[in-house]
């Protein structure tokens, strides 16, 4: 089936008893059992919920995966993935990973004796030479946040297979509409569904998708044992959202391409990070593994003063954490999403004080361009 | 783990249980939706329903609002406006708790009132109602019914015999609230029902008079008018039954033979209750009604006692005060599930002043002080909320009544309406004392 067809139908058969076309919000914490040991396969809301199951099935199909396991936030999903690694084992992580992932791995998981190497994974050699005897997982984000570096999923996954490592990909920035890491042999896809999947800035959520039966079993166990599950209402809202994912992603992409084009020609801009620009070092690779370039652009104004003025004067772009919503947002990674990363590491990653990340929404492009233009005048 | 897909049919006689218990379980297992393994009902969230075949679709439309012919077997859901499971589940429980044969929900209390009167009257018919009614009901009668050529007579129904003076062959409905909003007039429901039964004895079926009562102020916990002989009860579910101030809703409860007409009316006029609202009322409103209403009634009794003894208060209308002129009749008909006198959670009172204008001004100062400086009371319309709400009917809920008509509608220009919430009564008394001390008169 086509992407939009799946988005609208997968996991969402009409409700059995009434024929209700839209999945009900199954608001129950527990299930009546008929006799000891006899039930309909549902026992307790943390372990099983029908609305959640519909969402998991839906997004799994969109990622071309067999299993989806939903969580209460993107970080809850990421922490479930990192729970697959045991004490004493080692993980290779993309060096410009999302700040929250960095904080989780470095500040919490190291306390459980997990080891991390922070590597520029856009070069496969770097990954290869970082592999140690106890390495268990390679964790990548592509495009990365916020400088949009592109990592070759296929060759990374191949390297992982050879070395018996788990290849995990955070696909939040692209959404399955533009990139399907499982198709490129990644083992695990993780999402902050708060972003494009939900897309309306009204639900915090996360999801992990895999094709591997055994990994699914482990993740389901973690989901129930650790307990960071999303509410049925949040799952229902996210299901509402995936139905328009294709429409939204097309528009995000279309708007972002035009804005990146516009910005690269302005003399007040030092650098534009956007994988859809020919000047972007990952452009060719992006074209190969993505079917669009997405809605995130990072702009380095060179001068911190210019960046500050831009933030202050924008009327449509709102200064706020998060991304992937229908409304355009901007953020200052150095003090916001990546504040937990030490300054010297930030500098190395290109996260200067004059860098602004734009999450381009689906407003009319004329208005967005007009807003940028008036902000720098 | 063994699985069992066979729904076990549990046959239980609910009627042997107390109302406190029935209010939580309703019919226990509903034919309306086999969600039986979910301990809490799911929230139905679909505007439309899949039909297996054209034949089944046709059958669904045929069965809709046709209970006489098809009975009330498992419904074929078609479209939310016609009916969906959450509303059906709530309606079963509402009918139970009000001791009616059926209940039908609406988007709001006004949706329910206009529906029941809409099916009972036609152009040329007449309604006799009590002088004092909720402001928007007055607005419905005064602003819209003249257009439909439905005549409304306002009379003092606290004397039931007054009905005889106005009743004629066109009279179709006796309509009132008891206690009345906002002055808490009490109308003898049994006596109205008895008088109307006498009037009806010689009338043709389609010219009979129905007794319709808005039971919102009492909630079924404090009073069940159908047991006293009323034909229909209407509710704003937004108030005591919903109880948490989160959702709007309305209901008509009464005889089964009117259900089809009401269903058609609801379908065509469109004031359907949102399933998400129905779910909330079903899941946390109704099941906690007894607890809330019992607590609120106990607190109201203490507050009314306190106010009636306060030197700055002119009078207090509260059905539980022995000094209240309607105390005796209230005591016979406001009875809770356990058989105790339950005078409700609403209080109406006025502050002292040398002139009516000064009474009103003192009331304004009192309410403004509460609005600005008090923690436990909120200046706001609505009632039956977890929070204590205070308001000035003449300028808010009853603002539709022109100043020169206030007296005819039983309204005191300085009257204050108090809806008691779930706060600790000592805290309410402390804040009321502080607010009363701050009126300089």
> pLDDT digit string (tens) for A80-105?
999 999 999 999 999 888 889 999 99
pLDDT value at residue B167: 97
pLDDT score, position B36: 54
Identify from B25, B28, B30, B37 which residue to disrupt to test chain A contact, counting A C-beta atoms within 10 A and taking the largest count: B37
- Contact in structure between A339 and A351 (CB atoms under 8 Å): no
**pLDDT of B32:** 61
The span from the CA of B363 to the CA of B416, in Å, is 7
CATH of the domain at B369: 3.90.1150.10
Q: Are B227 and B339 in a shared domain? A: no
List the single residue in B34, B36, B49 with the smallest CB-CB distance to A21. B49
Domain that holds residue A126: 3-242
Residue B278 pLDDT greater than 60, yes or no:
yes
Q: What is the pLDDT of residues B147-199, one digit of tens each?
A: 999 999 999 999 999 999 999 999 999 999 999 999 999 999 999 999 999 99
**Regions of chain A short of the pLDDT cut 50:** none
Residue B365 has pLDDT above 90, yes or no: yes
Q: 10 Å Cβ neighbour count for A99?
A: 19
For chain B, what percent of residues have pLDDT higher than 90?
A: 82
Q: Which of B238, B268, B288 corresponds to the end of one domain?
A: B288
Q: Are residues B89 and B52 in the same domain?
A: yes
Q: Which of A304-318, B10-24, B167-181, B381-395 has the lowest mean pLDDT?
A: B10-24
Distances (CA, A) of B192 to B199, B225, B320, B334: 11, 11, 22, 15
Give which of B267, B232, B265 is closest to B251, Cα–Cα. Answer: B232
pLDDT at B5: 42
A30: its two tokens: 């527990």
- Asked whether residue B3 carries a pLDDT value surpassing 50, the answer given is no
pLDDT exceeds 80 at position B441: no
pLDDT score, position B22: 79
Average pLDDT of the segment spanning B1-21: 62
| Total tally of structural domains belonging to chain A | 2
Is B201 part of a structural domain of the chain?
Answer: yes
Question: Which has the closest alpha carbon to A223: A57, A83, A33, A37?
Answer: A83
pLDDT-based confidence at residue B122 (cuts at 50, 70, 90):
very high
Q: Do B48 and A40 touch (CB under 8 A)?
A: no
Tell me, what DSSP letter sits at residue B282?
I
Do A204 and A323 belong to one domain?
no
Specify the pLDDT at position B10: 58
Whether residue B234 is found in the same domain as residue B309: no
Q: Which residue of A has its CA nearest to B75?
A: A18
Cis peptide before B179 (omega within 30 of 0): yes
Q: Is the pLDDT of residue B298 over 70?
A: yes
- The pLDDT value recorded for residue A249 is 97
How high is the pLDDT of residue B1? 36
Kindly determine whether residue A28 and residue B38, on different chains, have CB atoms separated by under 8 Å.
yes
pLDDT digits (tens, 9 = 90+) for B38-51: 778 889 889 999 88
What are the pLDDT digits (tens) for A124-158? 999 999 999 999 999 999 999 899 999 999 999 99
**One domain for residues B145 and B50:** yes
**B288, B303, B328 - which closes a domain:** B288
Q: How many CB pairs under 8 A join A and B?
A: 95
> Residue B9: pLDDT above 60?
no
- The pLDDT, as a whole number, for residue B28 is 55
Residues B56 and B87 in one domain: yes
Query: Up-side HSE of residue A226: CA atoms within 13 Å toward CB?
Result: 23
A249 and A334 assigned to the same domain: yes
State how far the Cα of A149 lies from the Cα of A285, in Å rounded to an integer: 10
Residues A105, A164 within the same domain: yes
B386 pLDDT exceeds 50? yes
B193 φψ region: left (φ > 0), alpha (ψ -120 to 50), beta (else): alpha
B chain contacts of residue A37, beta-carbon cutoff 8 Å: 1-2
Cα–Cα distance, B193 to B208 (Å, whole number): 12
Q: Is A180 in the active site?
A: no
What pLDDT, on a 0 to 100 scale, did the predictor assign at position A82? 98
**Domain range for B113:** 14-288
Task: For chain A, list residues whose CB is within 8 angstroms of any CB belonging to chain B.
Answer: 14-15, 17-32, 34-35, 37-42, 50-51, 233, 236
The mean pLDDT value for B69-98 works out to: 88
Query: What integer pLDDT is reported at residue A143 of this predicted model?
Result: 95
Same domain, A189 and A284: no
Question: Any idea what the CATH number is for the domain that residue A251 is in?
Answer: 3.90.1150.10
User: Which residues are CB-contacts of B6 (< 8 A; sequence separation ≥ 6)?
Assistant: none
pLDDT band at B4 (very low <50, low <70, confident <90, very high): very low
Shortest Cα distance, chain B CAs vs residue A45, angstroms:
10
CB contact under 8 Å between B4 and A27, yes or no, is no
Q: Contact, A251 vs A362, CB < 8 A?
A: yes
Please tell me the total number of residues recorded for chain A in this structure: 377
Question: Residue B50, CB half-sphere, CA atoms under 13 Å: how many?
Answer: 13
Mean pLDDT of chain B: 92
Closest by Cβ to B33, choosing from A17, A34, A39: A17
Based on the domain organization, do B141 and B281 belong to the same domain? yes
**How distant, in Å, are the alpha carbons of A54, A62, A216, A287, B248 from that of A179?**
22, 10, 21, 10, 44
- Do A275 and A192 sit in the same domain of this protein? no
Q: Which residues contact B58 (CB under 8 A, 6 or more apart)?
A: none
The domain tally of chain B equals 2
CATH of the domain at A72: 3.40.640.10
Residues of chain A contacting residue B52, judged by C-beta atoms under 8 Å apart? 19
A176 near A2, Cβ under 8 Å? no
Region at A116 (left for phi over 0; alpha for psi -120 to 50; beta for the rest): beta
- CB contact set of A210 (below 8 Å; sequence gap of 6+): A65, A66, A67, A69, A182, A187, A188, A189, A216, A219
User: Are B43 and A27 within 8 A, CB to CB?
Assistant: yes
Q: List helix spans (H) across B121-172.
A: 135-139, 162-166
Name the domain boundary from B250, B273, B288: B288
Q: What gap in Å lies between CA A238 and CA A232, rounded to an integer?
A: 10
ipTM value? 0.79
Q: What is the mean pLDDT of residues B244-268?
A: 96
Please tell me whether residues B270 and B364 are part of one structural domain.
no
Residue B8 has pLDDT above 60, yes or no: no
Looking at the structure, tell me whether residues B303 and B268 fall in a common domain: no
């Amino acid at each position: 089936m086509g992407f939009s067809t799946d988005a609208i139908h997968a996991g969402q058969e009409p409700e059995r008893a009434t024929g209700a076309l839209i999945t009900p919000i199954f608001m129950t914490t527990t299930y009546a059992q008929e006799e000891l040991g006899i039930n309909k396969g549902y026992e307790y809301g943390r372990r099983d919920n029908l609305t959640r199951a519909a969402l998991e099935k839906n997004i799994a199909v969109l990622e071309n995966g067999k299993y989806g396991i939903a969580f209460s936030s993107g970080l809850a999903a990421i922490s479930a993935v990192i729970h697959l690694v045991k004490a004493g084992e080692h993980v290779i992580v993309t060096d410009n990973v999302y700040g929250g992932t960095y904080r989780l791995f470095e500040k919490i998981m190291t306390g459980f004796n997990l080891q991390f190497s922070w590597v520029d994974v856009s070069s496969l050699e770097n990954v290869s030479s970082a592999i140690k005897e106890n390495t268990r997982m390679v964790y990548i984000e592509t495009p990365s946040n916020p400088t949009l570096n592109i990592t070759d999923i296929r060759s990374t996954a191949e390297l992982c297979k050879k070395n018996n490592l788990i290849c995990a990909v955070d696909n939040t920035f692209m959404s399955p509409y533009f990139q399907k890491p499982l198709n490129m042999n990644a083992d695990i896809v993780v999402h902050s569904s708060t972003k494009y999947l939900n897309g309306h800035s009204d639900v915090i959520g996360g999801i992990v998708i895999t094709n591997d039966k055994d990994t699914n079993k482990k993740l389901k166990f973690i989901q129930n044992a650790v307990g960071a599950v999303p509410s049925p209402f949040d799952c229902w809202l996210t299901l509402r959202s995936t139905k328009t994912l294709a429409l939204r992603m097309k528009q995000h992409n279309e708007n972002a391409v035009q804005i990146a084009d516009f910005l690269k020609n302005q003399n007040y801009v030092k650098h534009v990070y956007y994988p859809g620009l020919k000047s972007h070092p990952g452009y060719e690779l992006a074209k190969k593994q993505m079917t669009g370039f997405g809605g995130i652009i990072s702009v380095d104004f060179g001068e911190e003063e210019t960046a500050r003025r831009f933030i202050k004067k924008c009327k449509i772009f709102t200064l706020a954490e998060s991304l992937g919503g229908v409304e355009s947002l901007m953020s200052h990674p150095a003090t916001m999403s990546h504040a937990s990363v030490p300054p010297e590491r930030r500098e190395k990653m290109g996260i200067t004080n004059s860098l602004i990340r734009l999450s381009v929404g689906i407003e009319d492009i004329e208005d967005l361009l007009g807003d940028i233009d008036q902000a720098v005048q | 783990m063994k699985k069992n897909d066979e729904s076990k049919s549990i046959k239980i006689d609910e009627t042997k249980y107390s109302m406190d218990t029935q209010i939580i379980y309703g019919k226990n297992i509903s034919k309306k939706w086999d969600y039986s393994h979910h301990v809490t009902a799911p929230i139905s969230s679909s505007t439309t329903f899949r039909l297996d075949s054209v034949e089944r679709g046709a059958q669904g439309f045929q069965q809709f609002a046709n209970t006489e012919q098809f009975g009330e077997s498992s419904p074929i859901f078609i479209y939310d406006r016609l009916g969906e499971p959450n509303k059906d589940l709530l309606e079963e429980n509402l009918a139970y708790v009000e001791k009616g044969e059926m209940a039908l929900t609406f988007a709001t209390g006004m949706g329910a009132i206009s529906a029941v009167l809409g099916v009972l009257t036609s152009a040329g018919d007449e309604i006799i109602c009590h002088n004092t009614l909720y402001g928007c009901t007055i607005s419905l009668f005064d602003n819209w019914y003249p257009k439909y050529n439905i005549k409304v007579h306002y009379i003092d129904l606290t004397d039931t015999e007054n009905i005889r003076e106005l009743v004629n062959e066109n009279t179709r409905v006796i309509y009132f609230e008891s206690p009345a909003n906002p002055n808490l007039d009490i109308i003898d429901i049994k006596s109205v029902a008895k008088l109307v039964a006498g009037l009806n004895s010689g009338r043709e079926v389609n010219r009979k008079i129905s007794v319709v009562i808005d039971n919102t102020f009492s909630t079924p916990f404090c009073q069940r008018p159908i047991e006293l002989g009323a034909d229909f009860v209407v509710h704003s579910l937004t108030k005591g039954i919903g109880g948490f101030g989160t959702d709007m809703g309305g209901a008509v409860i009464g005889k089964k033979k009117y259900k089809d007409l009401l269903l058609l009316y609801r379908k065509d006029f469109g004031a359907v209750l949102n399933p998400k609202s129905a779910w909330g009322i079903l899941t946390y409103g109704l099941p906690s009604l007894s607890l809330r209403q019992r607590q609120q009634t106990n607190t109201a009794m203490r507050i009314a006692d306190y106010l009636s003894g306060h030197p700055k208060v002119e009078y207090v209308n509260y059905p539980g005060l022995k000094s209240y002129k309607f105390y005796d009749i209230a005591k016979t008909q406001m009875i809770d599930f356990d058989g105790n006198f339950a005078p409700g959670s609403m209080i109406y009172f006025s502050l002292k002043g040398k002139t009516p204008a000064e009474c009103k001004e003192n009331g304004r100062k009192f309410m403004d002080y509460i609005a600005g400086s008090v923690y436990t009371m909120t200046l706001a319309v609505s009632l039956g909320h977890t929070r204590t709400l205070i308001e000035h009917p003449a300028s808010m809920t009853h603002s539709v009544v022109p100043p020169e008509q206030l007296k005819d509608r039983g309204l005191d220009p300085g009257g204050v309406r108090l809806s008691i919430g779930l706060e600790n009564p000592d805290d309410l008394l402390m804040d009321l004392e502080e607010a009363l001390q701050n009126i300089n008169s």
